[in-house]
């Protein structure tokens, strides 16, 4: 898929015009759901779904090749190893939500800005959690919101470990008709600081500050951010809050098993000054 194709797909998703899943996909998912719920043979599946043995065999072969279903010697189909891998990933994400929630609530409370947790999904970032701040006007982005990575501070934080080629591709996807050198330079500079400052453009002028979260392997698995209108989050305030976002992300990363050189992240830095500058 070319960058142009991905932009068109993104436009369809944002506009709500994405095509409905094909009927074959619906049937395959129905079969998979049944097998996971109650392991059974092809004959039993045929009775449940009213499908021919030939059709069922074709569907089951695809599911077996994809390791979504396993075929036992008895002829019974049951959940395959790939589903267990997916379940493990979901459990990890659930642990991330549990760990991050308290820190995100604390961040929103201290700063007064709405705070977000998100992860990467291909060329997009996806919001997982939102904790409200105290601004009169807030950013409209709840859990499930998808944005191209380079469009937001949260997405840019997820890009901090990317090499030059992948970073340029993400920027090209988000800003196809505009120069990206300044944004690329800012992201590269952010890698050393550990947090990203994003200055929004007209008409909304939504500014954001974000920092990546790492797991035990050191890989970026998520990011946290605060975002608000320029009226509430100006350049001076963004610079002040950057280290706090980095510290909060470090606390979450530490609880996910990531250990870096230096002291264990704590609450000692900056809380008093942040409380003094909290949004009224």
Q: Where are the domains of the chain?
A: 3-79, 86-276
**Is the confidence at residue 265, as pLDDT, over 60?**
no
pLDDT score at 262: 56
Taking residues 243-252, report their average pLDDT.
96
What is residue 277's three-state secondary structure? coil
Mean of pLDDT values over 42-66:
90
Q: Is the pLDDT of residue 278 over 90?
A: no
**CATH domain 3-79 topology:** Arc Repressor Mutant, subunit A (1.10.10)
At 109-134, the pLDDT tens digits run: 999 999 999 999 999 999 999 999 88
| Rounded distance between C-alpha atoms, residue 174 and residue 167, angstroms | 11
Between 262 and 33, residue with greater pLDDT: 33
pLDDT of residue 147: 92
pLDDT classification of 267: cutoffs 50, 70, 90:
very low
| Least confident span in 48-52, 60-64, 115-119, 174-178 | 174-178
pTM: 0.65
DSSP letter assigned to residue 150: G
pLDDT confidence of 22, banded at 50, 70, 90?
low
Q: How many CA atoms lie within 13 A of 95 on its CB side?
A: 13
Predicted pLDDT at 16: 46
Q: What band does 9 get if pLDDT is binned at 50, 70 and 90?
A: low
Q: Report the candidate in 112, 103, 130 with the shortest Cα–Cα distance to residue 237.
A: 112
- pLDDT beyond 60 at 256: yes
For residue 73, which of 48, 41, 49 has the smallest C-alpha distance?
41
CATH number of 86-276, picked from 3.40.190.10, 3.40.50.300, 3.30.450.40, 3.40.50.2300: 3.30.450.40
Residue with tokens 């998100």: 118
């Amino acid at each position: 898929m070319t960058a142009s194709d991905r932009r068109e797909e993104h436009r369809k998703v944002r506009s709500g015009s994405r095509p409905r899943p094909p009927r074959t996909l619906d049937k395959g998912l129905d079969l998979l759901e049944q097998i996971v719920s109650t392991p059974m043979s092809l004959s039993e599946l045929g009775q449940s779904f009213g499908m021919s043995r030939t059709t069922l065999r074709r569907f089951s072969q695809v599911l077996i090749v994809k390791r979504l279903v396993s075929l036992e010697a008895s002829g019974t189909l049951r959940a395959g190893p790939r589903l267990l891998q997916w379940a493990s990933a979901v459990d990890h994400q659930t642990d991330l939500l549990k760990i991050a929630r308290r820190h995100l609530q604390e961040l929103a409370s201290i700063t007064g800005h709405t705070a977000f947790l998100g992860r990467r999904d291909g060329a997009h970032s996806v919001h997982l959690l939102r904790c409200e701040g105290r601004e009169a006007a807030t950013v409209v982005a709840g859990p499930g919101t998808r944005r191209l990575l380079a469009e937001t501070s949260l997405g840019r934080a997820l890009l901090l470990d990317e090499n030059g080629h992948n970073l340029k591709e993400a920027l090209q996807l988000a800003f196809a008709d505009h120069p990206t050198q300044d944004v690329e330079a800012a992201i590269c500079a952010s890698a050393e600081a550990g947090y990203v400052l994003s200055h929004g453009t007209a008409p909304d002028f939504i500014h954001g500050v974000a920092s990546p979260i790492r797991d035990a392997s050191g890989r970026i698995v998520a990011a946290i951010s605060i975002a608000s209108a320029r009226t509430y989050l100006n350049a001076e305030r963004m610079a002040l809050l950057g280290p706090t976002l980095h510290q909060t992300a470090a606390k979450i990363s530490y609880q996910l098993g990531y250990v870096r050189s230096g002291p264990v992240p704590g609450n000692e830095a900056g809380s008093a000054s942040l409380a003094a500058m909290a949004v009224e």
